[in-house]
Structure 1
Amino acid sequence: MSEKNMNFGLFFLNSVAPWKTDAEELRDGLEQIREADELGFDTAWIAEHNARKYGVVSSTAVYMAAAAAQTKRIMLGSAVTRLPLHHPLQVAEDMNLVDVISDGRLYVGVGKGYDAYEFEAYNIDFEQRHDKYEESLDIIKAAFQNERVSYSGKFYNIQDVPVYPRPVQKQGPPIFVMVSGNDASIVKAAKEGHSFVLGGITNEDTMHKISLYRKTALEAGYSQEYVEKAISRSGKLLFFNVAETTEQAAKEYEKGLMWYMSVRDNRPTFGVVDRDRHLNYDDFLKSGNAFIGSSEKTINDIKKFREETGLNNIICWFNCGGQPQQQVLKAMQLFSKEVMPHFKGSYSISHSK
């Protein structure tokens, strides 16, 4: 298999560290997406949170619309839109609008939400999130594919409601689900034909989940072509920094990462903290989820990752914990100039309108 078919994205949590303001962080993120569009990155993924300093984008649709208006080719994805916190018809309408603004460059990542405090802030029952998520996802899929929607459920009763605007992409934007340790999430994604983004799991587990996805999706009746296309869009989120030397890359990344880890005790561990939720930075650098180093080291890390997992799509978290803007931009530029050419040919993620 050729190495020249890999895809690289960026992840944006938009954390406001003590040395940044909200406005600086949000504007920096948009500048990074504009730069990524020029540098050849394939995707930009936007996280959604409320009432948390480590993530200040309360609406993925609003931020993606701003990014879409300033870019030409990069795909934009929500990672994730928390469905139980929004009315599903409004989610569908907002995402369709972004799909139009971007001319079909939208991926829709969906999730249930995991933070009870964020639900409490909106006075929404945290314990109902699973059932609300299931209903919301059914409605959103219907709204992407049909001009009018009817639905009767426990939480939503919709009778022949028109949904506008209509999306540019045929059948609506592709849907992604976030997957971490539990196999149930990847099985459900496969049965429903959704793509996926993997979190903090080992390379061995990554390979297992991709194999399980392929087997389950094929057994569910999806064609080989459909399944391989869904997997080609899917990726894994990894910590990234590239500098002239590995020592410099590690030194640069430490302050932001350690601050972030200190304020996100409610977040998944991403495979880099111990049972007492402590992080040793040296151990972090040795973990399979940290690609921190020189261009040469990064190339070798990516080769090893691809050989061990078979996954062709990596989502790079350069700006974890409010990293300095010029450092992030320089790392992205080094990656594009010295790393990306080893893994990218004429292949790019495609989308159908």
Structure 2
Amino acid sequence: MENNETQLPAAKHLDFSLFYFGNADIFDDANEKYKLLIEGAKYGDRNGFTAVWTPERHFNEFAGLYPSPAVMAGNIAAHTKNIGIRAGSVVIPLHNPIRVAEDWCVADNLSGGRVGIACASGWQANDFVLASNSYKNRHEVMYKNIDSIQRLWRGESISMEDGHGHLKDTKIYPRPLQKSLPMWITTNGNPDTFRSAGRLGFGILTNFWGSSLDELGPKIEIYREAYKEGGHPKGKGKIVLMLHTFIAGTREEAYEKARTPLINYLRSSFGLLQNNAVSGNAAEVQNLSKEEIDNILDYSFRRYVSGSSLVGAAEDVIKVLHKVSSLGVDEIACLLDFGIDYTSVVKNLDNLTAVKDAWHNKVKAAAGAAAHT
């Protein structure tokens, strides 16, 4: 491995966080649905992980454990002391911005000022039974409501119509502990979203579902340039990359353990795409045969585990970290709950911590060597 590493990009700082996006139907014991979330958060709190992320998902088994990230945040806050607590993400157009600001102000107080949110526009038409008028212009609504949330967080008031039809200046309580609410914009890889987030000074939360590793670098460059043009503080714009994670003693062991759960997990997400095709988006997905779907899922598994995930042995994972850090990624959000059994995931968290610590040691060593040249 040492000879190979000399050809890899230089190690750059990365934060490591834990990400949850688990299916609602994979648990044999109905009382154990959130055990991995809570125990993982407690583990991350003890072992120097940066944050815990939970999404917002509705009306589907794919990530169906997480319809309310603010509720999750309050629970995580009760079990942890130091780790950041983040929504990855809040589907902003589904909600009144006052309620979003209120919920996260409460979570900020419960956690001692540790919360942040990634904001999403939403893409599943079915989700918009919660706010049907917002679907067609959901991107515009998202940015408009983000502005309202930020103003409310700072203690300003916004005018909203009350029950009598009168405009009422409204502030929120309790007051948050953080002066500003840390925000990211969630994207599957749209360059325009990278540009918009950079221009407005938000971070990015992304993944490889809609792009490849080679495509990520140019998008990060778009983000950095827009961030600079927006005049935002240097070093504050953060790119977070979500990667499926399971590190075992050998590559073969990791692949064997992850293959069936990850393919089943991808199948659930594929079903979501098929459901969305009914509304007119990507209709070709709806017409794929079972054999075609199986072939796509098999290819997707092989692509994920060969450089687009943290599934493998430690040396495999280190190579991926070299690559993504060289592209400008600032944080790896390690997706844990894609179907591998609870005992195996918890047992192998120590392997993830060992990789995290080894990476940080590599960065320190590289910085020390550069300082003496």
- TM-score bracket relative to the smaller structure: 0.7 to 0.9
Residue number in structure 1 paired with 2:189: 181
Amino acid at match of 1:344: H
CA distance 1:131–1:211, shift in 2 (3 Å): closer
SS at match of 2:116: strand
User: Does the 8 A contact of 2:194 with 2:222 survive in 1?
Assistant: yes
CA distance 1:211–1:327, shift in 2 (3 Å): same
Residue number in structure 2 paired with 1:69: 78
Stretches of structure 2 that go unaligned for 5 or more consecutive residues are 1-8, 275-283, 365-373
Deviates more, 1:135-144 or 1:296-305: 296-305
User: Distance between the aligned counterparts of 2:167 and 2:35, measured in 1?
Assistant: 38
Matched, 1:306 2:325: yes
CA distance 1:268–1:77, shift in 2 (3 Å): farther
What is the identity percentage for the equivalent residue pairs of Structure 1 and Structure 2? 25
User: Does the 8 A contact of 2:255 with 2:305 survive in 1?
Assistant: no
TM-score in terms of structure 2 length? 0.81
User: Distance between the aligned counterparts of 1:220 and 1:157, measured in 2?
Assistant: 36
- 1:30-69 aligned at under 5 Å gives the runs 30-55=38-63, 56-69=65-78
- 1:32-181 aligned at under 5 Å gives the runs 32-55=40-63, 56-120=65-129, 122=130, 124-125=132-133, 126-150=135-159, 159-170=168-179, 172-181=180-189
Deviation at 1:312, TM superposition (A): 3.0
Amino acid at match of 1:161: T
Amino acid at match of 1:306: S
User: Which structure has the larger Rg?
Assistant: 2
SS at match of 1:264: helix
Residue number in structure 1 paired with 2:346: 329
User: Does the 8 A contact of 2:227 with 2:237 survive in 1?
Assistant: no
User: Distance between the aligned counterparts of 1:158 and 1:78, measured in 2?
Assistant: 31
Amino acid at match of 1:101: L
Amino acid at match of 2:69: T
Post-superposition CA distance 1:116-148 (Å, at most 9, x none): 12223x363433433432332221111111242
User: Distance between the aligned counterparts of 2:28 and 2:183, measured in 1?
Assistant: 33
Residue number in structure 2 paired with 1:263: 268
Q: Report the count of equivalent residues.
A: 330
Amino acid at match of 1:342: A
Residue number in structure 1 paired with 2:307: 288
Deviation at 1:19, TM superposition (A): 4.2
Pick aligned residue for 1:208 from 208, 218, 228: 218
* Runs of 4+ displaced beyond 4 Å: 266-269, 274-277
Give 1 or 2: higher helix fraction: 2
Deviation at 1:182, TM superposition (A): 1.6
Residue number in structure 1 paired with 2:236: 229
User: Distance between the aligned counterparts of 1:288 and 1:40, measured in 2?
Assistant: 25
Post-superposition CA distance 1:216-269 (Å, at most 9, x none): 1221222xxx242222xx311111110111111111112221221222225579
User: Does the 8 A contact of 2:12 with 2:325 survive in 1?
Assistant: no
Deviation at 1:188, TM superposition (A): 0.8
Residue number in structure 1 paired with 2:280: none
Deviation at 1:293, TM superposition (A): 0.9
SS at match of 1:127: coil
Residue number in structure 2 paired with 1:27: 35
Deviates more, 1:259-268 or 1:291-300: 259-268
User: Distance between the aligned counterparts of 2:166 and 2:341, measured in 1?
Assistant: 47
Matched, 1:343 2:348: no
Stretches of structure 1 that go unaligned for 5 or more consecutive residues are 348-353
Deviation at 1:87, TM superposition (A): 1.2
Amino acid at match of 1:243: A
Deviation at 1:315, TM superposition (A): 1.0
SS at match of 2:181: coil
User: Does the 8 A contact of 1:147 with 1:166 survive in 2?
Assistant: no
Deviation at 1:28, TM superposition (A): 2.1
